[in-house]
Amino acid sequence: MATIRLDSQNLTELPASIAEQRDLTDLSVYDNALTALPDWLWSLTELRRLNISANRLTAVSEDIGRLTHLRMLDMGHNAVTTLPDALGHLPELTDFLYLSDNGYARLPASITRLTRLRYLNVTDNALTALPDDLGAMVGLLELRAYNNPLQRLPDSIGALVNLRELHLDNTPLTALPDTIGGLAELRVLSLRGCALRTLPRTLGGLTRLRHLDLRGNHLTELPETIAELPTLEKLDLRWLHGLTDVPGWAAALEGRGCVVYY
């Protein structure tokens, strides 16, 4: 398996000699000064891993869809404000997809076709919503969407039955869908700095949840079903200025070993 790493070289264009490496499987050009990618890059169809993050890219060609063996793609920390629809047509994209810090306002609808993808990072963008059929991405183990102006979550999120971590910090969400209680494998639910005013009783269905971070929300009450979470190890209730009294059941949680901050 051939690997080329040209990270932090202050490159403004990719060396043309790379085009001759037809057996190339791993290419990393992280932290350079690239403003565009050459057409020949998409002919390297044996690529399994491609890291083009932390450059100055403003677009990625639809021809990326030719990289049908790609398992990991990192294009974070660029300025790609429109994502190619072809991202959803990469059948082997199963390991990681990093799309953070680009400034785009929507995800291509095709992305939900990545049903075997395990890790998706769309943090630090301008997303107001996630795809309605997000729940089709049943392979997801970890979803990070913090630092976006999200207005709502799709009801289908409850179909992500393998999800273990959900990070939605610093989004203006005011409520969660009842379906979130269907995330039976969830271990971490991080909602720090949102605008939540209420929580669904269905949180009690998160029977494998270990960490629940509710810091800095606008909650005035908490559902007692939180007390029924059998594996909860840490509950963070700090800076809930609308919560005048700590629920009586918090002491019971502490009594069985759960750390409660308030």
Residue ranges making up the domain that contains 94: 2-261
Count of domains for the chain: 1
Residue 78 pLDDT = 98
% of the chain residues with pLDDT over 70: 100
Separation CA 85–CA 254 (nearest Å):
48
For residue range 40-70, list pLDDT tens digits in order: 999 999 999 999 999 999 999 999 999 999 9
Q: Provide the CATH number for the domain around residue 220.
A: 3.80.10.10
Q: Say whether pLDDT at 1 is over 70.
A: no
Q: Which helix (H) or strand (E) holds 250?
A: helix 249-255
Contact 172, 194 (CB under 8 A): yes
Q: pTM of the prediction?
A: 0.97
SS3 87: helix
Sign of CA dihedral 108, 160, 141, 253: positive
Please give the pLDDT value at position 136.
98
Give the confidence band of 37 by pLDDT, cuts at 50, 70, 90: very high
What is the pLDDT confidence band of residue 7, given thresholds at 50, 70 and 90? very high
Q: In the prediction, which pLDDT does 33 show?
A: 98
CB-count exposure of residue 140 (10 Å: 0-12, 13-18, 19+) = buried
Could you read off the pLDDT of 146-199 as tens digits, one per residue? 999 999 999 999 999 999 999 999 999 999 999 999 999 999 999 999 999 999
Alpha carbon distance 195, 78 (integer Å) = 28
One-letter amino acid at 160 equals: L
Average pLDDT over residues 66-84: 98
Is 251's pLDDT higher than 70? yes
Per-residue model confidence (pLDDT) at position 228? 94
Q: What is the CA radius of gyration of the chain?
A: 21
Separation CA 15–CA 13 (nearest Å): 6
C-beta contacts of 173-176 below 8 A and 24+ residues apart: 174/198, 174/218, 175/200, 176/200, 176/203
What mean pLDDT value characterizes the chain?
97
pLDDT at position 69 is: 98
